[in-house]
Amino acid sequence: DAKTTQPPSMDCAEGRAANLPCNHSTISGNEYVYWYRQIHSQGPQYIIHGLKNNETNEMASLIITEDRKSSTLILPHATLRDTAVYYCIVSEYNFNKFYFGSGTKLNVKP
Amino acid sequence: DGGITQSPKYLFRKEGQNVTLSCEQNLNHDAMYWYRQDPGQGLRLIYYSQIVNDFQKGDIAEGYSVSREKKESFPLTVTSAQKNPTAFYLCASSTGLGGYTFGSGTRLTVV
């Protein structure tokens, strides 16, 4: 079973920051937080992952709370091409099995 | 370029027939996975393999079978025992450390 809780949908204006929340209150000490997104009828695409510290790459930033029970994925300047379902996954790093919930459908509007 | 190739992209099957979905990777990844996705739903794990000649059932393995004879290949057979096979099937691979790389998927329809 998925170990995360995400809102089913969110809207964001084009050019604004999109902040996608994820609750993972039962996360254990050796589990990472991963974010993927899936554009309609395609395979999921890796975005970012982290353990404790905040992370940033060319696609997004990941903010993890100090108690690690929740996190936020930030797309700093959302574009129409960022419209997708975003999945937050909690998993161990070694030979992990990913359990996908229903994710958050992000609608970026002009 | 390295990646995962799933074929075919679309597949039609008559009721009662077995069908095999192909998944090939040239990433030199040890682990491979098969997921099923129904409309509006998340992905559910069917089977996974961490090493050649070894594989384990996921959450919804009934009616499916796999093999892992080569590191690069992890075919999935949807058997006639699978009562509701129409779905989007996704294959993934990983080094065993960290994240997955997904293929582009096969959409199977039973006619």
Residues A37-79 pLDDT 10s: 999 889 999 999 999 989 999 999 999 999 999 999 999 999 9
Q: How far is A14 from chain B (nearest CA, A)?
A: 24
Query: Binning pLDDT at 50, 70 and 90, where does residue B1 land?
Result: low
Does A34 contact B at CB distance below 8 Å? Answer: yes
What is the total residue count of chain A? 110
Does B92 contact A at CB distance below 8 Å? Answer: yes
Mean of pLDDT values over B71-98: 91
Higher pLDDT, A1 or B68: B68
Query: Binning pLDDT at 50, 70 and 90, where does residue A1 land?
Result: low
pLDDT one-digit tens code per residue, B31-81: 999 999 998 888 999 999 999 999 999 999 999 999 999 999 999 999 988
Residues 6+ apart with CB under 8 A from A94: B96, B97
